[in-house]
């Protein structure tokens, strides 16, 4: 805000001589372990109903996307999860749509998983190494289910 300017509704208040630091390229500021990543404030919920939905979607992956979405939203797991999270039904629906989209696009996915039997984890190539701390949401979850289906995943978890 320039000196003598008339404040406009919705604009921030002037700093009145205080300093303000704007940091661009914050990922570079935080260093290589953060480089290229975003800071996502999320809460991870590990609910059996959500896992049930994920495994149903995996087993029905050959359906059309519309048929898949209809089958999932009619499932007992979907109803149970929606009932468990009252007021958040819109979020459950949106996440289920994301799951369906991820499984439908798994064959077209350019992310090549690198499975380490020693670590029993999927990693992804980042530059010249494989990073086992990177996850690509539901795509990674379905890649784990694919490994499990192929009998490659160890079951010590």
11 contacts: CB under 8 Å, gap ≥ 6: 1
Name the pLDDT band for 1 (thresholds 50, 70, 90): very low
**In contact, 70 and 82? CB cutoff 8 Å:** no
pTM (2 decimals)? 0.71
- Torsion angle of alpha carbons 27, 30, 32, 35, nearest 10°? -10
- Mean pLDDT, rounded, for 31-52: 73
Please write the tens of the pLDDT for every residue from 138-154: 999 999 999 999 999 88
pLDDT attached to residue 155: 75
Name the pLDDT band for 36 (thresholds 50, 70, 90): low
Please write the tens of the pLDDT for every residue from 3-21: 555 655 666 666 666 766 6
- Mean pLDDT, rounded, for 27-43: 62
95 has pLDDT over 90: yes
Question: Cα–Cα distances in Å, from 118 out to 93, 103, 113, 132?
Answer: 36, 26, 15, 12
Strand order in the sheet with 113-116: 113-116, 121-126, 129-131
73 has pLDDT over 90: yes
């Amino acid at each position: 805000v320039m000196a003598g300017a008339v404040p406009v509704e919705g604009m921030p208040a002037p700093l009145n001589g205080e300093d303000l630091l704007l940091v661009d390229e914050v990922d570079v500021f935080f260093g290589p372990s953060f480089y290229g990543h975003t800071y996502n404030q999320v809460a991870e919920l590990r609910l059996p109903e959500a896992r049930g939905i994920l495994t149903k979607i995996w087993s029905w992956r050959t359906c059309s996307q519309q048929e898949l979405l209809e089958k999932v939203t009619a499932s007992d797991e979907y109803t149970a999860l929606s009932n468990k999270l009252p007021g958040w039904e819109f979020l459950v629906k949106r996440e289920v749509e994301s799951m369906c989209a991820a499984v439908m696009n798994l064959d077209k996915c350019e992310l090549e998983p690198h499975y380490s039997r020693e670590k029993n984890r999927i990693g992804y190539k980042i530059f010249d190494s494989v990073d086992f701390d990177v996850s690509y949401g539901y795509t990674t979850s379905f890649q784990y289910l694919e490994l499990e289906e192929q009998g490659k995943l160890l079951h010590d978890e």
